[in-house]
């Protein structure tokens, strides 16, 4: 039995959301919003990279900085791998560099969350618009 249109809609929305989380901007890229996808990718990756540069990789800490980590994980699943690495290697960062790095990486994650929601919403709107017939 072929999938119903409603099932296709759900699969599209999940695919767009997952791709947007895996790679910032990929959800918009799939929706053929290439300029927007490039802007999202560059903005989020640079913001995250600046946070890592200021505070080092130690700002990603799923054990002692759970609140910051919950925002950082919205960047990509790669943050989980970095978090496991920092816990095993026992990287420690203290003071202002830690705070500023956590703020930048957390803001990058929350910005990506907004972009994920926007991509899913755009995908939903495109499937519910009248076909013009």
Greatest Cα-to-Cα distance within the chain, rounded to the nearest angstrom: 62
For position 91, what pLDDT does the model report? 76
Query: What's the token pair of residue 109?
Result: 């994650």
For position 88, what pLDDT does the model report? 83
SS3 content of the chain, % helix, strand, coil (to 5): 75, 0, 25
Q: For every one of its 133 residues, what pLDDT tens digit does the chain have, with 9 covering 90 and above?
A: 455 577 888 999 999 999 999 999 999 999 999 999 999 999 999 999 999 999 989 899 999 889 999 999 999 999 999 999 988 888 777 888 889 999 999 999 999 999 999 999 999 998 765 444 4
């Amino acid at each position: 039995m072929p999938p119903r249109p409603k099932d296709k809609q759900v699969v599209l929305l999940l695919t767009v959301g997952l791709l947007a989380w895996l790679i910032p901007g990929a959800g918009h890229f799939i929706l053929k919003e290439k300029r927007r996808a490039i802007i999202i990718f560059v903005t989020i990756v640079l913001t995250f990279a600046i946070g890592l540069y200021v505070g080092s990789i130690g700002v990603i800490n799923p054990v002692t900085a759970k609140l910051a980590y919950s925002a950082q994980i919205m960047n990509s699943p790669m943050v989980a791998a970095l978090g496991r690495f920092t816990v095993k290697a026992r990287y420690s960062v203290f003071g202002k560099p830690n705070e500023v790095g956590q703020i930048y990486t957390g803001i990058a994650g929350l910005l990506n969350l907004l972009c994920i929601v926007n991509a899913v919403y755009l995908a939903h709107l495109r499937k519910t618009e009248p076909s013009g017939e």
